[in-house]
Chains A and B, each alone.
Chain A
């Protein structure tokens, strides 16, 4: 309908948060003529084409082009930034930025509070979880099981893939028991694999690694990605918001993170822009929900929110909005924060905010003897997916192997460093030009998204000492990584060794130790080449846990419908509901779970 100033009337549902998960809940409810109010804490950025382009221009001019660099800092609804992450000194919290980090490890992941949520800066990688990810405890004696199975979620995976616009070939994705119904295929053909993917794929053909006494193939395959490609029958690609002819295909802009300039990559803006056409949908941005309130019967009877007129300045006013059901879709950290601040969903246990997880991301890099054509295409088009499941998970974590297309990207943020370093050595003119031409396209980077187990001590907390400009709690993060994941990083480096050797890269040009700014070297070492390399990691941006689903009201915050055990008209949705991380980038699964949950919501709204 419109971006209204203040909500009026009775809503069937209030959705807190305008990211991909909230947008998909709204889409399903509005399709059934339910009246939905969406409250978004951040600005309604990107709803017009020119507005979105202004973020692209901002990206161009940022010195550090990190995950949130295109999106203006908003003191009224702050987000954690990559540059806030520092080495944690024992006993001293890291107070830089929005998030308060208590350690012992730095939690190096970011998200974005703005309409569209973190799907504005996500990479767009959309693999499904493996069936065994749903029963880790039963199968491998680790972590916990999910209260639902792959088969139960499968139809919603398909629905999510068609709604978000995922490009993939079914055959590439059929592994580790991931199955598709007969007649199903992805809405668009797979994104072409990059030249370097092809070179690596050919080089490692037939190679294996041995994990826990068993050989596993090192095999490069195409990734499922939510970016536009050639449509299959029955699908029309969705282009840029406000300019749908733009972004009909991925054009190889190479900036998926932090912004796709043509919007060929899916973002929740596409879903929300379509919803704005409906009279059943109302959006209210710059509305920070501060409290979920309960009636005498223990059911939710409203949400309080602060509306700010000007970012960082106010004036601010507090309102209450009411509906039949309430859906928290504000991100794993924000959902937990809101539940804690409201003192709700904690009658049967103290699980709210607990079991915070990520995919600790460790990486290796090398200089190939020949051009790999680096710095071309989407940031990632392929992976080594063969180690996402296996009997070794009894001993150490599984992982997804990401084969990058952007040279040493996160290693040293080329090409700035390469240019200034050369100039510092008085290399200039034609020599400078050819030195860059002969090195940068040879850069290879391989990284590992490592599974992490749920642990009580890893959590989001709140404390009145730490509040933001609007008076809302800043999230306090306590985070550590157990040996189960560290050992996987140790083992994963064997995969890099296989790849680098297969490419004929001399040992001196193979690097297994990522010294990361702000991150301390750990006590863990890897030695795939016989030398000892201290390990460390950064965040993958995959916040998981914090309001997990479970089998009983004593072990979890929500049931398999993501419905609160305590308050039957409260749903807490998103990656926070996931009991374990698996190895898949979680957004697709979060959207699939949300679509499944809307059945229960609609049942309640009948």
Chain B
């Protein structure tokens, strides 16, 4: 879902926080369903990237109940942020009290994977050191 390895996700030390947070915003039933379908897709698509992508798109992202939650799960990993769910979703499932746009914690911001994805660091944290910015950037080719 994120394009990062299990080790990279664990490396953020945010997994437990997010795992507890999501059902507290959308309820355990929907979160459980999302996990079950994700697990099913993952088993069926294992080793077959295009199939996995198709399954996730069809069964999760295009699902009006699960799609918005799944996108928010990715936002958590990438940005450390929860975005308020779309109005259409709330028409059906109601607006939960803590379904607001927010940054989960100082750590969730500094552990956002987007910075790693673009070969830099979160502003105001994990500083690269004096003069590092004058050197040619790391590119995707270098990194892989």
Query: Which residues of chain B in 48-90 are interfacial with respect to chain A, using CB atoms and an 8 Å cutoff?
Result: 49, 53, 56-57, 61-62, 71, 74-75, 78-79, 81, 83
Min CB distance, B118 to chain A, in Å? 4
Say whether B118 contacts A419, CB under 8 Å: no
> Bound state CA distance, A65 and B110, in angstroms?
14
Of the residues A62, A261, A377, contact of B134 by C-beta under 8 Å: A377
Binds B, one of A126-134, A437-445, A573-581: A437-445
A391-432, CB under 8 A of B: which get 1 and which 0? 000000000000001100000000110011001101011111
User: Which of the segments B1-9, B10-18, B21-29, B91-99 contacts the partner chain?
Assistant: B1-9
B127 touches A61 (CB 8 A): no
Bound: A198/B136 CA distance, A: 10
List B contacts of A56 (CB < 8 A). Answer: 124
Contacts of A436 in B (CB 8 A): 114, 117-118
B140: A residues at CB distance < 8 A? 434, 437-438
Contact (Cβ within 8 A) A419 B75:
yes
A498-521 with Cβ < 8 A to chain B: none
Asked whether, in the complex, the Cβ of A429 is within 8 Å of the Cβ of B1, the reply is yes
Closest Cβ of chain B to A373, distance in Å, is 3
A interface footprint on B30-54 (CB within 8 Å = 1, 0 otherwise): 0000000000000000000100010
Does B61 contact A428, Cβ atoms closer than 8 Å? yes
Given contacts A60-B110, A60-B124, A437-B140, contact A377 B119 (CB under 8 A): no
| Residues A420 and B83 in contact in the complex (CB < 8 Å), given A261-B124, A441-B119 | yes
Within 8 A of B (CB), among A351-374: 371-373
Residue pair B133, A376 in contact (C-beta under 8 Å) = yes
CB pair B120 A61 closer than 8 Å = no
Say whether B135 contacts A415, CB under 8 Å.
Answer: no
Also in contact, A373 and B117, with CB within 8 A (given A252-B128, A253-B123, A428-B61): no
Taking CB as reference atom, which chain A residue is nearest B78? A419
Query: For window 369-385 of chain A, which residues contact chain B by CB distance below 8 Å?
Result: 371-373, 375-378, 381
Known: A376-B120, A429-B53. A62 touches B103 (CB 8 A): yes
Q: A535 contacts the other chain (Cβ, under 8 Å)?
A: no
* CA–CA, A365 and B79, complex, Å: 23
CB-based contact A195/B101 at 8 Å: no
Cβ contacts under 8 Å, A431 to chain B: 3, 53
What residues of A have a CB within 8 angstroms of the CB of B121 in the complex? Answer: 254
| Chain B CB within 8 A of A223 CB | no
**A 482-497 binary contact with B (CB < 8 Å = 1; else 0):** 0000000000000000
Complex CA gap A434/B135 in Å reads: 22
Q: Of B117, B125, B130, B132, which contacts A60 at CB under 8 A?
A: B125
Q: Which residue of A262, A373, A430 contacts B137 across the interface (Cβ within 8 Å)?
A: A373
Q: Which residues of A contact B127 (CB under 8 A)?
A: 251-254, 261-262
A433, CB-defined interface residue at 8 Å:
yes
- On whether the beta carbons of B75 and A376 are closer than 8 Å, the reply is no
- List the A residue with the shortest CB-CB distance to B118: A440
Knowing A60-B109, A63-B101, the reply to whether A192 touches B123 (Cβ < 8 A) is no
Please report which residues of chain A, range 38-73, place their CB below 8 angstroms from some CB of chain B when the two chains form the complex: 56-57, 59-63, 65
Identify which of A59, A192, A424, A440 contacts B131 (C-beta below 8 A): A192
Task: Give the CA-CA distance A378 to B61 in the complex, in Å.
Answer: 38
Closest B residue, CB atoms, query A439: B118
Quick check: A371 and B137 within 8 Å, CB to CB? yes
Q: Is A437 in contact with B103, judged by CB distance below 8 angstroms?
A: no
Q: Quick check: B136 and A429 within 8 Å, CB to CB? A: no
Q: Decide yes or no: A426 and B124 within 8 Å by CB, A371-B139, A419-B75 being known contacts.
A: no
A378, B123: Cα distance in complex, Å: 10
Among candidates A193, A261, A432, residue contacting B3 with C-beta atoms closer than 8 Å: A432
Residue of A nearest to B124 (CB): A255
Q: Does B19 contact A (CB under 8 A)?
A: no
Find chain B residues with CB under 8 A from A377 CB: 132-134
Closest to A61 in B: B103
Which residue from chain A places its CB closest to the CB of B109 in the assembled complex?
A60
Could you tell me the distance between the alpha carbons of A434 and B120 in the complex, rounded to whole angstroms?
A: 14
Question: Is B3 a contact of A430 with CB atoms below 8 Å?
Answer: yes
Chain B residue numbers with a CB within 8 Å of A434 are 3, 140
Residues of A contacting B103 in the complex (Cβ-Cβ under 8 angstroms): 60-63
Let me know if A437 and B119 touch, CB within 8 A.
Answer: yes
A194 interfacial by beta-carbon distance below 8 Å:
yes
Alpha-carbon gap, A193 to B2, bound state (A): 34
Instruction: Establish whether residues A193 and B118, one from each chain, have CB atoms under 8 Å apart when the complex forms.
Output: no
Contact B124 A428 (CB under 8 A): no
Quote the shortest CB–CB distance from B7 to chain A (angstroms). 15
Interface status of A307 (Cβ within 8 A of chain B): no
Asked if B133 and A419 sit within 8 Å, CB to CB, the answer is no
Contact B71 A423 (CB under 8 A): yes
Q: Which of A251, A381, A438 has the most CB of B within 10 A?
A: A251
Known contacts A61-B105, A415-B118, A428-B1: A198-B134 contact under CB 8 Å: yes
Q: Given A253-B123, A426-B57, does the pair A433, B117 have CB atoms closer than 8 Å?
A: yes
Say if the beta carbon of A136 comes within 8 Å of chain B: no
Minimum CB–CB distance from B84 to chain A (whole Å) comes to 10
With A193-B134, A371-B137: A415-B123 Cβ-Cβ less than 8 Å: no
Q: Does A250 count as interface, using CB distance less than 8 angstroms?
A: yes
A251 touches B79 (CB 8 A): no
Contact, CB under 8 Å: B123 / A255: yes
Asked if A27 lies at the interface with its beta carbon under 8 angstroms from chain B, I say no
Q: B79 and A428: CB pair below 8 A? A: no
Name the residue of chain B whose CB is nearest to the CB of A425. Answer: B61
Q: Are A428 and B56 in contact (CB under 8 A)?
A: yes
In the complex, A338 has a CB within 8 A of chain B: no
Q: Could you tell me the distance in whole angstroms from the C-beta of A197 to the nearest C-beta in chain B? A: 8
**Residue from the set B1, B71, B120, B132 with the largest chain A CB neighbour count within 10 Å:** B120
The answer to whether A249 has its CB under 8 Å from any CB of chain B is yes
A123 at the interface (CB under 8 A from B): no
A residues adjacent to B (C-beta < 8 A): 56-57, 59-63, 65, 192-195, 198, 229, 249-255, 259-262, 371-373, 375-378, 381, 405-406, 415-416, 419-420, 423-424, 426, 428-434, 436-438, 440-441
Q: Could you write out 19 A-B pairs with CB less than 8 Å apart? A: A60-B103, A60-B106, A60-B110, A61-B106, A193-B134, A251-B129, A252-B128, A253-B125, A255-B124, A261-B127, A376-B132, A377-B133, A415-B115, A416-B79, A419-B114, A428-B2, A429-B56, A437-B143, A441-B139
